[in-house]
Structure 1
Amino acid sequence: MIVLLLTYYLAQSVHSDAVPISAPIELRDVVSCDGQNSQRTLAGIVWSCLSTIFLCTWVAVHPNVHFRPEKQHQRWFEKWLWDPLHELLTYKLPLFLWALLVPEYILSWAVRQYVQAGVISKQVPGWTRTHGHFMIMGGFHLFRLPVDTASIPLSLKSSKPSSIVIPTGDHSRENDDPVCPLKYEDVPVDILKIIAPTETELKDKGKSDALTKIIVLVQTVWFVVQCIARGSQRLPLTELEVVTLAYATLNFFIYVFWWDKPQNVECPIRVYKTATEMHGESGEMADKWEENWAWLGKIFFYTVGGQDSFVTISEKQSIPMFWSGRLSDHLLFGAGLGPSILGSAFGAIHCVAWSSEFPSRPELILWRISCIAMITVPFTVAILCAMMAMGLREGNDLNNLEVAILIICFFLIILSAWLYIASRIATLVIAFTTLRSLPPAAFTTVNWTTFIPHI
């Protein structure tokens, strides 16, 4: 509701019929407190927007642990250039593009992890949501000890030894054999209490702290306040600023849900089994994709976040990029409802520039079509999630009308997935192409902004 009210206010303020963009600028709008003209530059506008977008997409994302086996006797070229570049191009850059093109999907992923972390933290005495996040993100990794390595099995409350051991005597970690990430079901609660770090130790493993997160939030809030101030003084926002405002609003919620998640953890905690001990999948077995309609199912389940049910973690070298654990069905669809609604609000914020002066009519039409697509596609997902969540929670069978609505939403999601991505790309491209011809009032600075400390 707050996001929608913000969109409505800005749309009314910036594009009021009483003061159109092409209207002459009043003296009070261009004269600062010291009586001098106050103007901003195109470079300043672009830098402010790009820095905020970067903070919202690159810094705000908290990835899972991307485990990579350690290589021995590496040459300096591989260690300092090739491996970091490979990591950037194959993992961090794709994740950044996902956050740039489909930010509400990142929000949905953050909400699913937040919910699942809360569920796990209640199962282990003394655990917090930070521990739950660390478990989900692949923070514990199974290793096999080399043959003939001395070890002691950890005992459970029942005094029965477990398959998890502690190495003793002469042992080099370089010779450990990595197996797979561990899920919560793979490790008994008694063992987790022994091997899990404290919350302070977990936060120390992250590459970010509360101060860094506060700086990002302050920069984001500053940009939003500046946009509201421009609207209050009837000063236009550029299309790039409108796009940035949408990112800032949505990514604020991403940061909130990932506040307790350690950021950019690269080395998981090692959990050991002997060389002869076998490891199988714990908990429910993974589902199988239907061979004939696998592509339809993948589009649907990845959209609603249900792809984890088809993943066998014991066969993976690293935790999947968007892994958030296997939520129960009602929690899964419930967790997708809020992000879908916020996704529609994200598209609605772009409507602030609905009546802006575009350099050409095709750009105006394409912008409006993209806005409609970015509102309707997430809203379709919200309808599906709401109906599924209510139906699964109440345990009642759906009537014919509800089934028909679900089928329609299902096919709309499959058919419109590419349309949404195309719309996101279109708005980003138009946001930059319109910079070639901005109205004079777009360069006018809000009088009081230069007196407020900001980054």
Structure 2
Amino acid sequence: MIVLLSILAAIRASPIVQTSPPLVSLDQLHHAPSCDDPHGCRSFWDIIRSCIITIFLCVWVSVHPNIPSPDETWPQVAVRRVGLMLSAIVAPEIMVAWALKQRVTAATLARMHKGEGWTTTHGFFATMGGFIEYDGNRPVRVLLPDQLGSYSLTGNGDFPRIAKAEIEDRSKGDAVSKTLVVLQTGWFVTQCIARGIRGLPVTELELVTVAFATLNFVIYLLWWDKPLNVRCGVRVYKKRRTEQPDEDVDGKVADPVGFWATLGDALF
């Protein structure tokens, strides 16, 4: 709504031009003569800084990594996060496919376990490796969503029941921070649209940033209910009257609906 009102204000402020706004490259802008109006000019570095900040905010907040393995060190977690961010910059369409796949899976799980009080947030939490089988204090494996029926939080219950508020408490992001980033990105896009309406020059880098921000906004909406930067999963135990769990090959937490699986599905 704020973005729409800003666009309408820009339209009223100046007549709509029929020709396309002039498109300039950063090299042309860098060698252009200095501007006489200090309030209406944008320098080469102002544009660079604005675009980089917008791209960084888009990637940093839109990428929601899955829960790391319990035996994964913080350097490994950091490297994986940087890898996902680089993937979001180089191949954002793969991130959209990953987010869409997790969204569909989470919504399906929420419908299947509606009787247990599950929401889409619960579905995302299970999809991102939120429930881990433990043998005493030793982590055994991550549980796929269809395996949760044989487990509970103590080994005596019927199902791993956890409140949505408890899951959200583990998340490092909230609606306020997400809204602020959306507003910041929306303001950048609005400025570029307003400049185009008024016939002012728009750089190629700004157009690329607008396209990138729009694509990341789609990712952001798909992952709106997914917890952000959760470091630890929930311990669950095998119910005492069920069969023994299958042998775990390497004892590490897997990636139920992970980025690399989605990348493989997209490429092969």
SS in 2 for 1:143: strand
Partner of 1:87: 77
Q: 1:256 aligns with which of 198, 209, 221?
A: 221
The alignment's TM-score, normalised by the length of structure 1, stands at 0.46
Q: 1:205 aligns with which of 170, 175, 180?
A: 170
| Residues 198, 115 of structure 1: alpha-carbon distance in 2 compared, 3 angstrom cutoff | same
**Following the alignment from structure 2 to structure 1, what is the Cα–Cα distance between the partners of residues 187 and 150?**
44
Partner of 1:139: 130
What is the identity percentage for the equivalent residue pairs of Structure 1 and Structure 2? 39
- Encode CA deviations 1:88-142: one digit per residue, 9 max, x unaligned: 12x1111111111011110111111111111111111121100000010000001
Letter in 1 for 2:165: T
Shift of 1:196: 2.7
**Following the alignment from structure 1 to structure 2, what is the Cα–Cα distance between the partners of residues 238 and 208?**
33
Shift of 1:12: 5.5
Q: Answer yes or no: is 1:323 the counterpart of 2:258.
A: yes
Alpha carbons 1:14, 1:234 under 8 Å: kept? yes
Report 1:287-366 matches (<5 A).
317-320=252-255, 323=258
**Following the alignment from structure 2 to structure 1, what is the Cα–Cα distance between the partners of residues 176 and 105?**
26
Partner of 1:122: 111
**Following the alignment from structure 1 to structure 2, what is the Cα–Cα distance between the partners of residues 50 and 109?**
24
**Following the alignment from structure 2 to structure 1, what is the Cα–Cα distance between the partners of residues 119 and 17?**
40
Partner of 2:141: 180
**Following the alignment from structure 1 to structure 2, what is the Cα–Cα distance between the partners of residues 317 and 249?**
36
**Following the alignment from structure 1 to structure 2, what is the Cα–Cα distance between the partners of residues 222 and 114?**
27
Shift of 1:278: 3.9
Q: 2:198 aligns with which of 224, 230, 233?
A: 233
Partner of 1:215: 180
Alpha carbons 2:21, 2:202 under 8 Å: kept? yes
The alignment's TM-score, normalised by the length of structure 2, stands at 0.76
Show structure 2 runs of 5+ residues with no match.
Answer: 1-15, 30-34
Partner of 1:53: 55
Shift of 1:85: 3.0
Alpha carbons 1:181, 1:314 under 8 Å: kept? no
Partner of 1:280: 246
| Residues 11, 107 of structure 1: alpha-carbon distance in 2 compared, 3 angstrom cutoff | farther
SS in 1 for 2:129: coil
Letter in 1 for 2:62: A
Report 1:148-159 matches (<5 A).
none
| Residues 11, 259 of structure 1: alpha-carbon distance in 2 compared, 3 angstrom cutoff | farther
Shift of 1:322: 5.3
**Following the alignment from structure 1 to structure 2, what is the Cα–Cα distance between the partners of residues 142 and 252?**
35
| Residues 207, 238 of structure 1: alpha-carbon distance in 2 compared, 3 angstrom cutoff | same
Partner of 2:20: 13
Letter in 2 for 1:118: A
Shift of 1:243: 1.6
SS in 2 for 1:188: helix
Show structure 1 runs of 5+ residues with no match.
Answer: 1-8, 23-28, 71-82, 146-175, 282-312, 328-335, 337-380, 382-412, 415-455
Alpha carbons 1:65, 1:319 under 8 Å: kept? no
